[in-house]
Amino acid sequence: MGYALRTDRYCYVAWFAEDYDKNKILSTARRIAEELYDCKEDPNQEINFAMRADHRAVLKEHQGYMKEFLASQRQSR
């Protein structure tokens, strides 16, 4: 299952191995792939920056945003 979020400049997608379970996502779900696109420089989202060393800090930042988002969704139910 994949989850995406968008900031002013980037689109981040995280793919998880297990089916959606808000409790598992934050604790034991295994992230199997990630995508990070620079929507300003690459509006067609053709270049995945997730594995590039020069975008490591941006990737970590967006991983944090995703964790916060999923936690907020878990608390809202």
Choose between 61 and 72: higher pLDDT: 61
| Cα distance between residue 68 and residue 25, in whole Å | 11
**Which of 20, 53, 14 is CA-nearest to residue 32?**
14
Residue 50 has pLDDT above 90, yes or no: yes
pLDDT, tens digit (0-9, with 9 covering 90-100), for 13-44? 999 876 656 566 555 567 789 999 999 999 99
| Cα distance between residue 62 and residue 26, in whole Å | 14
What is 2-75's CATH number, 3.30.2320, 1.20.120, 3.30.1380, 3.30.1120? 3.30.1120
Tokens matching residue 71: 């936690």
Tell me what percent of the residues of the chain surpass a pLDDT of 70.
79
Tell me the pTM: 0.82
Choose between 28 and 72: higher pLDDT: 72
